[in-house]
Structure 1
Amino acid sequence: MTIQRERPGVTVELIAKAKERVEARTGVVLVPYQAEWGAPDTLVKLATYEERVAETFGEVDTIELTAEGGASILGYRMTNGSAVAASYEQPEALRIEALYPGLRGNDLQVTILASSAEPGKMELQVAGPVRTEKFSFADTQELVTKASQSIYVRVKKLGDTAVDAVSATSLTGGTSGTSTLTSAEATKLFAAVSGADFDTMYLPFDDAAVQAAAKQFMGDRRTQNKKLSTLVIGGKAVDDDNMTKHVERSVAQNARYVVNSAIAGQHNNGKTYGSLEWAAWVAGMIAATPAHESLTAVVVPLKKALKDWGHTEILNALGTGTLIATRDGDVYIIESAVNTLAVVGTNEREDYGKIRVSMTLDQIVNDISQVGKKYKGKLGNNDLGGAVFVSAVHAYMTVREQQGAIDSGWTFADQKNGVGDRRGFLLSAKPLDAIEYFDIDWEVL
């Protein structure tokens, strides 16, 4: 019967998900950004360097910072809705329009001349920041088809008039869609990405009110959408040398699913970033780090910190759940992989204040929930159906224990309380943190 065909799939998928969690580069980071190029107000998957370059020309620093750890990126270009794409037109013949709206389209140049590759045909050349593209064509319709593969432009046929030759002509008319980010843009962003799947979210807003709204948004996703992920925030550049300001942000959040970056200074690439931009790097590292590893003592690509924190400032940061980088010899490292949970609330424990523990909790819930949703409605609400799901989760949890993500002694049981279309299961497991403190007693003989 149908339910029998589903049994192997449930177990195999959960095992596959468990094994993914020890591989780097499996995490997904949502990166909202502003730029003069890219699909406007649209979620775009950017899993590789080539995809990032095609979508952003590699010019968005926060995306490149996020990608350094190897995580996949879910980009979302924020615009104010007024961006216009640059274009070039030959009346009654064709219109060449930039693939995306924004000022960057004005930098593209088109040349139309006799084709050297295919004698008897014309050739469109599009010069841009990545490469120069060339498309040979016998007629406008052929050009429309071939240019659909361009990373720069799209061509529209306007009529049957022959296409004229033209040399190095820039597209014109592109207008910007960027503006100072406001709470209205944040509200629009939250609505647009609410249903997306991602492990961490970088927030490009330093306004305290927006950060509070973002925390609420992430909390609502957890309770209403059953999508668990971590928010990473930073602060205003003018306050980045003030630990009191960093601490205030952490205290205002106080949640295991919010990480507050206080890293600021010159990156190894020579550029200087504030804590708001460095938060993108942190988000990428959190998502890319395998489940059995901690971010504590990870080397930060920081050439020179804006400020080297003193002992008291470091203790204040750790006590309030503020993520900082401290000098350790010739490099900077993450002092301790903490989130902003500092005051433990209902159903929380002290170890939830560590990123590794919190991410393990979220990963397990997300993995089991995602597979459970795929197979909901396919298992009968009886002991046999419950046993199938329990078997699948047992296989998954066994792999997580072998990875070192959870301790031994875990259980997952069917509560056998199925009524109608609902059934309860109980998971008991202890996520493992990493050893950060080594207390050694030396007995001198």
Structure 2
Amino acid sequence: MAKGTWSEKDKPKIPGFYHRMQIVAEESANNIQGVLSMPVKSDWGPVNKVVSVSQERHLKNAFGNNANFTAYKLGKLALLGKPKELLLYRLVDSAAKPGELILKNTESSPTNVIKLQTIYPSSRAFNVTIRTNIINESAKDIILYENTTQLVEVSDLTGSIDEIVDKINKSALSDYIVASKVENATGTLADMVNDKFTGGNDGASNITNTEYLKAMKAFESHGIDGFTLDGVTDVGLHTSVKTWINECKKEGLDILAFLASNSESLSQANSKSKEYNDYLMHNVYLKSTTYDGITYTAAEVAVYVAALALGKNLKESVCNETTIFDSVEPRLSRTEIESALESGTIVFDVIDNEVVIVDDVNTYKNYKNEKEEALGNIRAIRFINTVNKQTAGAGKDYIGKISNDETGHTVTLCGLKTFFETYQKLGIIAKFNIETDEELQKNAQSDEFFWKWDAEYINVIKKIFSTGNLK
């Protein structure tokens, strides 16, 4: 078989897949890979929609900067973990409603002429001042404030009510509000001073598990690698998350879930981890931790752990990883830490005044044999999930294009082999084997091809033992 390279503009028929998949595999191992998803609550932002953010600036633009809501408080925390991408979904209840303000004309008996409405359901303290333009007495200036902070000023608005509405909706004001003409409205826009928007509701007071389940369903089509909740410890919702990620796995979508139960003690957290016993589930334990003057719960810290774990490349691990936090409670004894790791609970220690994650464990600890021990670590599962994702993605190069005979099988296996050769070169695996699954293939239908792989996984060094002798 010929060898070579290809690009989107240059696609040789046979050589194409070889070097392309090799590059994809290497990029997957070397680059930040994980996409993290999280439902959130906010007083701003699009509702029931998946929104991608990669910087704090994007987060503020999309959902505001009110730290009393989880979108900003925990979205910012997640970004500090540096995932490849953060996907947020704003939850709202049935009370969600935009704020409104009615503008009137200057008639002796003023009538309503323009309705201003916030572009999202919100109770943000917006208010508007309308004044006569200093230079042009026939024109108006509109200034939008939040409390006493000026957000936008649009000057020199002239013309009919229809024209003013159109200008408002084409100005920078449209980042916050939308204007509409009241039916049959005429006249000149009246001045006002700091008139407030009313009737707005964030829709964040009565969020139910049903809203969270809708968010989870919405995330399925976005190629996510991880999922976390916005500080919620509801047992029923956690059970639903576990059911959901395992259903997704059956559909070929591998999602790592990072949660924290409302455990009063480490023993309770360990019991929950043992109950999960699932390599897709991760359970974080602590009482509290602080960062930049803000105290976080275990369920909130799970957001950061998720982002940090997914932000690592495939050669890295969060074992002994220094976190952003200033302190952590409780301080666990060595015996307590050992019990946590044996149960599959993610815990923290303080080393040289730095808060570190002790080990990158998941909750799968009831191994069927010694070979399964590697499955109890985040790094190993991320590698397996990446292989599944990349080889499945490569399937488009074969399905419907390669004959289902020995030659076609060889071509397919040679292409898939390049993934493993690259991972071997990068030191993620040692020996590997990729071949036709003869046992399944002998009973395969005419359009089915079964293959299998195994690899000797190379772990990271987690324990160093020394022997010293004085002579």
* TM-score with structure 2 setting the length: 0.82
Q: Does residue 61 of the first structure (1) align with residue 73 of the second (2)?
A: yes
Aligned to 1:103: 123
Structure 1: gaps spanning 5 or more residues:
none
How many pairs does the alignment contain? 436
Query: Closer, same or farther in 2 for the Cα pair 1:382/1:184, shift >3 Å?
Result: same
Q: Does residue 277 of the first structure (1) align with residue 300 of the second (2)?
A: yes
Counterpart of 1:302 in 2: which secondary structure? Answer: coil
Aligned counterpart for 1:202 among listed residues 217, 225, 228: 228
Counterpart of 1:410 in 2: which secondary structure? Answer: strand
Could you tell me how far 1:378 is from its partner in structure 2?
4.2
Q: How far apart in 1 are the matches of 2:128 and 2:425? A: 57
Q: Does residue 171 of the first structure (1) align with residue 168 of the second (2)?
A: no
Aligned to 1:80: 93
Aligned counterpart for 1:306 among listed residues 312, 329, 346: 329
Query: Closer, same or farther in 2 for the Cα pair 1:187/1:145, shift >3 Å?
Result: closer
Deviation by residue 1:147-197 (Cα, 9 ceiling, x = unmatched) = 478432233344563544433332211013123554434433433333332
Counterpart of 2:457 in 1: which secondary structure? Answer: coil
Could you tell me how far 1:145 is from its partner in structure 2?
4.5
Query: Closer, same or farther in 2 for the Cα pair 1:207/1:8, shift >3 Å?
Result: farther
Q: Does residue 212 of the first structure (1) align with residue 239 of the second (2)?
A: yes
Aligned to 1:18: 25
Letter in 2 for 1:63: G
* TM-score with structure 1 setting the length: 0.86
Could you tell me how far 1:88 is from its partner in structure 2?
1.7
Query: Closer, same or farther in 2 for the Cα pair 1:81/1:5, shift >3 Å?
Result: farther
Q: How far apart in 2 are the matches of 1:354 and 1:97? A: 50
Could you tell me how far 1:8 is from its partner in structure 2?
6.4
Could you tell me how far 1:231 is from its partner in structure 2?
0.3
Letter in 1 for 2:89: Y
Could you tell me how far 1:52 is from its partner in structure 2?
0.6
Aligned to 1:89: 102
Aligned counterpart for 1:48 among listed residues 55, 72, 88: 55
Q: How far apart in 2 are the matches of 1:367 and 1:380? A: 21
Q: How far apart in 1 are the matches of 2:134 and 2:57? A: 28
Q: How far apart in 1 are the matches of 2:24 and 2:131? A: 53
| Structure (1 or 2) with the larger CA radius of gyration | 2
Query: Closer, same or farther in 2 for the Cα pair 1:281/1:117, shift >3 Å?
Result: farther
Deviation larger for 419-428 or 121-130: 121-130
- Asked if the contact 1:341–1:353 (Cα under 8 Å) also holds between the matched residues in 2, the reply is yes
Structure 2: gaps spanning 5 or more residues:
1-10, 105-111
Query: Closer, same or farther in 2 for the Cα pair 1:7/1:269, shift >3 Å?
Result: farther
Counterpart of 1:352 in 2: which secondary structure? Answer: helix
Aligned to 2:434: 412
Could you tell me how far 1:319 is from its partner in structure 2?
0.9
Q: How far apart in 1 are the matches of 2:117 and 2:354? A: 47
Q: How far apart in 1 are the matches of 2:350 and 2:248? A: 37
Q: How far apart in 1 are the matches of 2:208 and 2:369? A: 33
CA root-mean-square deviation: 3.2
Q: How far apart in 2 are the matches of 1:131 and 1:7? A: 61
Query: Closer, same or farther in 2 for the Cα pair 1:329/1:374, shift >3 Å?
Result: same
Query: Closer, same or farther in 2 for the Cα pair 1:115/1:271, shift >3 Å?
Result: same
Q: How far apart in 2 are the matches of 1:117 and 1:386? A: 79
- Asked if the contact 1:70–1:288 (Cα under 8 Å) also holds between the matched residues in 2, the reply is yes
- Asked if the contact 2:43–2:64 (Cα under 8 Å) also holds between the matched residues in 1, the reply is no
Q: How far apart in 1 are the matches of 2:470 and 2:209? A: 63
Aligned to 2:177: 153
Could you tell me how far 1:125 is from its partner in structure 2?
3.1
Deviation larger for 131-140 or 207-216: 131-140
Deviation by residue 1:313-361 (Cα, 9 ceiling, x = unmatched) = 1111011011011111211111111111111148970111011111111
Q: How far apart in 2 are the matches of 1:401 and 1:288? A: 21
Q: How far apart in 1 are the matches of 2:309 and 2:373? A: 20
Q: How far apart in 2 are the matches of 1:143 and 1:346? A: 70
Counterpart of 1:175 in 2: which secondary structure? Answer: coil
Letter in 2 for 1:271: I
Query: Closer, same or farther in 2 for the Cα pair 1:64/1:381, shift >3 Å?
Result: same
Q: How far apart in 2 are the matches of 1:220 and 1:364? A: 19
Query: Closer, same or farther in 2 for the Cα pair 1:422/1:153, shift >3 Å?
Result: farther
Identity of aligned residues (%): 19
Could you tell me how far 1:400 is from its partner in structure 2?
2.5
Could you tell me how far 1:226 is from its partner in structure 2?
0.4
- Asked if the contact 1:326–1:333 (Cα under 8 Å) also holds between the matched residues in 2, the reply is yes
Q: How far apart in 1 are the matches of 2:433 and 2:76? A: 41
Could you tell me how far 1:375 is from its partner in structure 2?
6.4
Could you tell me how far 1:90 is from its partner in structure 2?
2.9
Deviation by residue 1:227-285 (Cα, 9 ceiling, x = unmatched) = 0010001122xx45x11121122111111111111134232211111101111111111
Could you tell me how far 1:287 is from its partner in structure 2?
1.1
Q: How far apart in 1 are the matches of 2:131 and 2:16? A: 56
Counterpart of 2:222 in 1: which secondary structure? Answer: coil
